[in-house]
Chains A and B, each alone.
Chain A
Amino acid sequence: MSEQDFHPRIVAFCCNWCSYAGADLAGVSRLQMPTDFQVIRVMCSARVAPEWIIKTLSAGIDGVMVLGCHIGDCHYIAGNHRAAKRFALLKEMLGFVGIHPDRLRVDWVSASEGTKFQTIVTEFVERVRELGPTREFVTAHRRLDTD
């Protein structure tokens, strides 16, 4: 399928206090973006478990974003620090098991950075389009369980 027809499926985990609010601001400001992503709200980027990323990518989602507060601004003091460390490690692992590390993007968006949200999302959707659909690790008809 051509790049134009390919509508990647992308999930963006956004933390309630910063990046979700930044996404809201992008909306309020009517900043236009590609439709190929869905936001999932969590309270803190530290809630995002690394195995979610693996399971998500192995279920046919083409790209995952984890967006938290800027370092130093975490509503829960240092949750984003943990997230930063976990995902730095995870990115290494992804490459190791054959998933392109660019399918995971971790970034920091504050509640006032609507434009940044727009930029990041647009860039990421483009990148995932370039990479094409996830083929690695996909198990047919696989339901996601916690086990």
Chain B
Amino acid sequence: MEQTRIGVFVCHCGSNIGGVVDVPAVVEYARALPNVVYAERNLYSCSEAGLSSLKQGIRAQRLNRVIVAACTPRTHEPLFKNACEEAGLNRYLFEFVNIREHCSWIHRKDKEQATEKAKRLIRMGVAKASLLEPQEETESNVIPAVLVIGGGIAGMTAALNLARQGFRAHLVEKQARLGGWLPHINRLCPTDEEAARLIDSVIREAQAHERIILHMPATVQEVSGYIGNFHVTVAEKEGKCTFDVGTIIVATGAEVLQPLGLYGYGRFPNVITQLELEERLRPPPSPSPVNDGGGKRWESTVFINCVGARIPERPYCSRVCCMTSLKNAIRLKKQNPAAQVYVLHRDLMTYGVEFERYYRRAMEAGVRFLRYDIERPPQVVGNGRAEAVVVWDTLRGQERRLPVDAVVLNAPLIPASDNATLSRLLKVPLAESGFFLEAHVKLRPVEFATDGVYVCGTARWPADVSESIAQAYAASAKAAIPMRAGAVTAEAITAFSVPERCMGCGTCVVTCPYQAIELRIANGGHVLSGTEGLQKQVAWVNVVQCKGCGSCVAACPSKAMQQRGFTDQQVLEMISVISGL
């Protein structure tokens, strides 16, 4: 075993440290610590001169452990670790001691005690460094192929983008045709372009691209593996198909609530949903306004927003429905300018520039708006068919009775019914609402906590076409990162299990937030005597998925789990040397 040779480099940081801490005394002190063979001070360790001195010191003194006592590791640790590597030392044999933010800057009034504290901190650092082991960062390859689940606008956009970047894209669609909901929609707001034109062109591109492999109709049956190496089984008409991918994008969309029992839906034939209205409005264009089957022109239509949404049972706002109401209200007015068209709402969600402009257009087109309250929802009344809508107009403070030819119900997007299945297959979570739950609501909107799996479009949350496409691009970017790199590396602060001590209790498995641990049959090795021939299950950590939190280590009842760079021994040794006993 080679002798431990620690080098300690103490930084003055100008007078930031040196003006409070007696750096020369600290260097003297460090020199005398166990295993320390070299100590020096630098004016600015992070400067060119400081780094160069560090590297020289490593080489000249044959150091095999390095400590820099300076500012905070949160800024400069990579800098010094790189310097160590350049000097031929494994970067995990480096320890950073913070004697600026955590010492000189907060103890300015007591220089003597600050100096003593700096000595203690360095003593702790030396104790830990003595126990550091060289580590190799594990590199795991990434297959340059993606699985996109869902062939709607989001899924196809993602598949096309990645295909164009040069990756293979397996596009799995459970229905017999691509396009998701858009083939059922008439026009899109706020541009009023035809949905068919947009979606048909995307479908053509997706079908034509040589790197997109279409599985349709097909469903994902099984997924195993982890980022870079997912093994996927898909059930298609002809049987099962398996293939391997590096990344997965969930673009399975959402469903629309059927508002059975609400506002006369199901009871009155002229109470329809927005989707049913879309079908009626779609080309071939009808020269006369919507035909309700009874042959009458709709002289009066009432749209009711927030049907089954923003209620205690389903508190969320479905984001896209207000605009849909406006779009179809404008269309009805266009077809029949004399018609009365009302939109009954509880807040009009026309956020941003284009949507607010669209709202003004609707007002200019003569669409009338009426604000109702959740406490007094509209009543649809009639005999055999809806004849009128009675509603308390909160802004006028009076009840209104609106005669109707048709009532259109604006119901929310709801999570797709197979979300739960997919969630289990991919080991990704669902939010309370039932939509998929991303890694971080603010800063990681299209990623899952599980590496290599991403989400976009209405599978994640109600979104309009432009938002779904932007998110699909975002998910593609995230998937492209590991695929372009060809490999993923894990910082070597991962957990590992010592099989001899492991009882196979599985506590670590359930503790891990990233599902990075599984139980496997111990591979030979020395198990407890008397049990030769007995196969036991022990914990195995997938270092690619492990994020180095250390939760499992603290949870392990048999002390079989440890964390590289933060072992129990290292920490307890640090405490030992300052415990004063």
Contacts and interface: CB of A to CB of B under 8 A. Distances in A.
B8 to A, nearest CB: 17
Contacts of A61: 575, 578-579
A32 B551 contact: no
A142 B581 contact: yes
B581 to A, nearest CB: 4
A131 interface: no
Contact of A46 (B108, B120, B449, B550): B550
A43 B548 contact: yes
Contacts of A23: 101-102
Interface of B: 72-74, 98, 100-103, 105-110, 113-114, 116-117, 120-121, 124, 449, 493, 511, 513, 547-551, 553-555, 559, 563, 566, 568-569, 571-576, 578-581
Most buried by B among A47, A79, A118: A47
Contact of B580 (A21, A55, A60): A60
A28 B114 CA distance: 16
A49 B579 contact: no
Contacts of B113: 7, 35
B500 to A, nearest CB: 14
A32 to B, nearest CB: 6
Contacts of B107: 32-33, 35
Contact of B578 (A26, A38, A77): A38
A27 B104 CA distance: 8
Contacts of B549: 43-44, 46-47, 75-76, 79
Interface of A: 7, 9, 11, 16, 20-21, 23-24, 26-28, 30-33, 35, 38-44, 46-50, 52, 55-56, 59-61, 75-79, 82, 86, 118, 138, 140-146
Nearest to A23: B102
15 contacts: A24-B101, A27-B72, A27-B102, A35-B103, A38-B117, A42-B566, A43-B548, A47-B553, A49-B568, A52-B575, A55-B572, A75-B549, A82-B554, A145-B572, A146-B572
B551 A144 contact: no
Contacts of B559: 146
B101 A60 contact: no
Given A35-B117, A38-B578, A50 B493 contact: no
A50 B120 CA distance: 24
5 nearest A-B residue pairs (beta carbon): A27-B101, A47-B550, A76-B549, A46-B551, A144-B572
Most buried by B among A35, A75, A79, A118: A35
B74 A43 contact: no
Contacts of B571: 40, 42, 52
B117 A140 contact: no
A35 B100 contact: no
A86 B554 contact: yes
